[in-house]
Amino acid sequence: MPYKVLVTPRSFGRHSNEPYEILNQFGVEVKVNPYGKILTEEQMIEEIKDVDGIIVGVDPLNKKVLQHAENLKVISKYGVGIDNIDMEYAKEKNIEVVRAMNANADAVADYTLALMMAVARNVVQIDKECRELNWQKITTVDVHKKTLGLIGLGNIGKKVVQRAKGFEMDILAYDLVPDEEYAEKSGIQYVNKLEEIFEKADFITLHLPLNEHTEHIVGREQLERMKSTAVLVNTARGGLIDEQALSDALQERLIWGAGIDVFESEPPQNKELLELDNIVIGSHCAASTVQAIDNMGIISSQNLVDLFKQSDK
């Protein structure tokens, strides 16, 4: 009997057939997401019942869902974030979980810089005014030689640093597990207290997983510490920012603006955010480039096959 695999990401194999070829060469029977959208819990429960493996994006794989996956042996994450997967229950059920490490890091880092620039220089607002034939100059804020504060300095954070160096930015970072060797080599200053990032940085970017320790790590108190000309960027996970606090801060002009690609629910429930001119909004698309999509598909397929091969031994 061939392994049966559910593939939920809608972009899987969109630009290259190689991810499917990897699965087909191993004789995998592929079941593709039939809904054309992120699956709900109920849809996942129905689709996951008889599969041996799953290549999953941000669809829910909590305990409620996994309890119905009687044959599931492997979860291959299409990306790196695993906050949608109940890791403890997966371990309890001996379900292997593997991530597509580094597949989309460059794409996310690029988009982080794109949001920084778009917010700082009011690119979206200027474009809108020009389309209405308003050629009045709009004054914005600089990026060059400003201070960037990174909350989380993992693989994506380090790639953001590489790009920020081109703008001759001073770099501050906060991470629970500091990479001192990298910091010294790259001219990065680690701070001991998270408050220092909010108080000193002109740009703050988030590169953290979402868990009980990081949920709403940016709230009203942190936003009030920021400079009035500061920009906040989140390309990591919705839930890291208290969205009501952010909405209030933007309306009150406590900070210059925000670039947000991820929300607690997507589209965001707080519709006020959609009406503000000092926020640039993304549709969780930081990793959506041709190269990153190809990489995620190839790596997640190969990871799945490799784990099946190990279980066959």
| Per-run averaged pLDDT (10 residues), the chain, 313 residues | 93 95 95 94 96 96 96 95 94 96 95 98 97 96 98 96 98 96 96 97 96 96 98 97 98 98 94 96 95 96 95 75
CATH label, 4-103+290-312, candidates 3.40.50.2300, 3.40.50.720, 1.20.1440.230, 3.30.2130.10: 3.40.50.720
Give the separation between CA 264 and CA 267, rounded to whole angstroms: 9
Q: Integer distance in angstroms from the first to the last C-alpha of the chain?
A: 16
131 catalytic? Reply is no
Give the separation between CA 202 and CA 193, rounded to whole angstroms: 17
Q: What angle do CA 168, 119, 107 make, to 5 degrees?
A: 70
User: Active-site residue among 47, 96, 99, 237?
Assistant: 237
Ramachandran bin of 123, using left for φ above 0, alpha for ψ from -120 to 50, beta for the remaining angles: alpha
Phi, psi of 234 (to 5 degrees): -130, 110
pLDDT of residue 246: 98
266 catalytic? Reply is yes
Give the separation between CA 132 and CA 138, rounded to whole angstroms: 14
Give the separation between CA 232 and CA 229, rounded to whole angstroms: 10
Are 176 and 149 spatial neighbours (Cβ–Cβ below 8 Å)? no
The hierarchical CATH code for the domain 105-281 is 3.40.50.720
pLDDT of residue 230: 98
Sign for the pseudo-dihedral over CA of 247, 79, 30, 73:
negative
Distance of CA 234 to the CA centre of its chain: 8
Cα–Cα separations (whole angstroms), residue 258 to 72, 118, 120, 206: 40, 9, 9, 12
Where in the chain are all domains bearing CATH 3.40.50.720? 4-103+290-312, 105-281
Whether residue 34 has a cis bond before it, omega within 30° of 0: no
User: Active-site residue among 121, 220, 225, 284?
Assistant: 284
User: Active-site residue among 199, 215, 264, 266?
Assistant: 266
Q: Is 114 helix (H, G, I), strand (E, B) or coil?
A: helix
pLDDT of residue 312: 76
Give the separation between CA 61 and CA 48, rounded to whole angstroms: 10
pLDDT of residue 311: 80
pLDDT of residue 196: 98
